[in-house]
Each structure stands twice: as C-alpha cells, then as structure tokens.
Amino acid sequence: IQWFPGHMNSARKKAAENMEFTDVVIEVVDARLPAASSNPMIEELRKFRQRPCLKLLNKADIADPKATQAWIEHFAGTPGMKAMAVSFKKASDVAKIVGWCRQLAPHRGSPDKQLRMMIMGIPNCGKSTLMNALMKRKVAAVGDEPAVTKSAQRLEINSSTVLIDTPGLMWPKIEFPSDGYMLAASHAIGTNAVIDDEVAFFLGNLLLERYAGLVAQRYGFDVSGLDGVGLIERIATRRAWRVKGGELDIEKAALAFLKDYRTGVIGRISLETPASRAQMIEIARATV
Ligand code: GDP
C-alpha cells in the first residue's frame, strides 16, 4: 500500500506550535493496533517539549482484552506516559480522562492556571468522538470515512480545563507493509476497490491464524484449512454472491468481511500484540 504524506510537514509544524501551549498531550490510538496506529512524531514532539502524555487505547470495547492488557503493560515503562484502555463510547470511561490528565500535570487545573490538553492521533482513531464526549455537545464531525475532522479550535470544558487547538491530525507512519494493511482494514487510511480485496485477504489470514473460532462462529462454516482468499470465496459462495456471468462476487464478500471486522461483529479482535509486533520487526529486519 502506497500513501503520500502530503500534509505531514504542516501538521508537524502546527503540532509543535500548539504543544507550547499544552500541558498534557492526549494521544489516541486504536486499541486493536496500538503500534501501527501511532505516529512516532507525536512521541518525539512531546518529549522534545517535555510534555507528559496520556496514551489512550480507544475502541477497547471491540479489541481483544488480553492483547489490550499486554499493550498497557508494554507502555507502562515509558517515562512521562500514562497508558489506559478506554472506549469513547462509554461515558464512564470519558469521565475519567480529565482526572488522568490532572495527575500528569498536577500544577495545573485552576481558573488562573488552566489545564490545557491537546488531542492528537491518526485519522479515524476517535478524536472527534472524544472531543464531543468531553464537551458534551457536538463540536466535531464524526465519521467512519478517514479525515472527516476539519478545522482547529480552542474549547473550554470548564473554567479550569481547556482543549487546545484540537484535534491534531497526524498521518500514520507506515513503517512495514503489514502496517498499511492493518490500517486499511481498520479504516484509518482510505482504500480503493482494487486493494479492498487484498486487505480482506490479509485480514482473513490474520484472523484465521488467531481467531479461527470466532470466524467459524460468525460465518457458520468450518474454516480449517482455509486461507484468507479461501475464506472470502467461501463467504461469497455461502451467500450466493455472484457477478453477471456467474463468477463469485469476491469484492462484495471482501467488503462485507471488512465491515464485519470494523464494526466488531466477528468478536473482540486485535491485529497485533507486543509479541507479534516484535516478531514481525525481527522478520522484516532479517529479510532486508
Ligand atoms: P477521528 O477521525 O479520529 O476524529 O475519529 P472519529 O471520532 O470520527 O471516529 C471514527 C469512527 O470510530 C467512528 O465511526 C466512531 O463512531 C468510531 N469510534 C470512536 N470511538 C469508538 C469506541 O470507543 N468504540 C467503537 N467501537 N467505535 C468508536
């Protein structure tokens, strides 16, 4: 998967400027792929400015709880960082966020020393959902299409707490090919009809390897011996999805499968764990 970091430099500049007026950086990542959905630039910038970071693994409601727990432990050692698993769709989770930020910047949080928070993250990780939830009203457009979020704003949550120039949109850094596939599967980067199939095959392979039971349960057939391509073909066959001329409608089945993963109906799934990522990096390095 190829992509072009068009606005990377201006996004970096803007974030660096805003960070000067920020006490706590709230970095939002997707709990199902916390490494692939992070942008190392956020960590670089906030360390350079010596700002603490609340790292929120969002969408924990549809991620694999065991994998999420492993990621929280993995991040626990990072200086100046507090990592928590949340769902922005749960009011009880959102209600804790300002308190966590206060712990990270204990000298702030009064009307004359407002606690200033900046939300950052890649497209579709939940930045707008978080803004709206914190503000208790609609201040940002939420959409499943990548990059719906638009202009920068400054918003008062209460007299002691403000959201600065949010949200800071960062493009993911696609360091390894599998990052691109994981991000496309999770709708953080856009795809087109040509690669939707490829993304679905990738996701199929991964899910068959780690969550075969959930896949079998969702689609109601035996998945043993299937690979990603076989799985998508089987879904098309079972649903009798054919194109004109009678061939299987692979594209339709691929899109249905991707949608099932994105909405969480297959079950609680994570695409990477600290261990799988370490292994992937090792293999990638060995083959260079
Ligand atoms: P942004 O591009 O970072 O601003 O992301 P959005 O706030 O627009 O959210 C992207 C998609 O993720 C939307 O469809 C949201 O409804 C969905 N979403 C956000 N938070 C959660 C969550 O905690 N759980 C689940 N399941 N979906 C979420």
Q: CATH number for the domain including 217?
A: 1.10.1580.10
Predicted confidence (pLDDT) per residue in 112-164, tens digit = 999 999 999 999 999 999 999 999 988 877 765 554 444 445 689 999 999 97
**Residue 40 shares a structural domain with residue 103:** yes
Residues spanned by the domain of 241: 187-270
Query: Given the structure tokens 């066959």, which residue do they identify?
Result: 237
Q: Hunting for tokens 């890649």 — which residue is that?
A: 122
Q: Which of 207, 213, 264, 214 is nearest to 232 (CA)?
A: 207
Same domain as 229, residue 95: no
In a domain? residue 288: no
Q: Is residue 287 part of a domain?
A: no
- Whether residue 208 sits in one domain with residue 101: no
Q: What local confidence, expressed as pLDDT, does residue 8 receive?
A: 61
Angle at 218 between CA 217 and CA 221, to 5 degrees: 60
Which of 129, 144, 170, 266 to probe ligand 1 with, by most ligand atoms within 8 A of CB? 129
- Residue whose CA lies nearest to ligand 1 atom number 12: 126
Q: Determine the distance separating the centroid of ligand 1 and the alpha carbon of 286, expressed in angstroms.
A: 36
Kindly state whether residues 94 and 161 are assigned to the same domain. yes
User: pTM, whole model, 2 decimals?
Assistant: 0.91
pLDDT (average), residues 4-24: 77
**Pocket lining: 89 vs ligand 1, CB cutoff 6 Å:** yes
Instruction: Please report, as a single letter, which amino acid is at residue 136.
Output: K
My answer on whether 57 and 155 are in the same domain is yes
pLDDT, tens only, 217-232? 999 999 999 999 999 9
Mean pLDDT across the chain: 90
Using DSSP's 3-state secondary structure scheme, residue 250 falls into helix
- Domain membership flag for residue 73: yes
Strands 24-30 and 53-58: parallel
Residues 151, 206: one domain? Answer: no
Using the mean position of ligand 1's atoms as its centre, give its distance from the Cα of residue 128 in Å.
7
Domain presence at residue 2: no
164 shares a domain with 47: yes
- Cβ of 61 closer than 6 Å to ligand 1, yes or no, is yes
Residues 23 and 163 in one domain: yes
DSSP category for residue 248: B
Any domain includes 71: yes
The domain tally of the chain equals 2
Q: Is residue 142 within 6 Å of ligand 1 at its C-beta? A: yes
Based on the fold, state whether residues 55 and 133 are members of the same structural domain.
Answer: yes
| 164 and 211 assigned to the same domain | no
How many Å apart are CA 209 and CA 227, to the nearest integer?
9
Tokens of 27: 């970095």
Confidence of residue 30 (pLDDT cuts 50, 70, 90): very high
What DSSP character marks residue 265?
-
Of 113, 137, 169, which residue is a domain's last? 169
Give me the mean pLDDT over the 40-50 stretch. 91
Query: Tokens 């630039």, residue?
Result: 41
Domain shared by 82 and 27, yes or no: yes
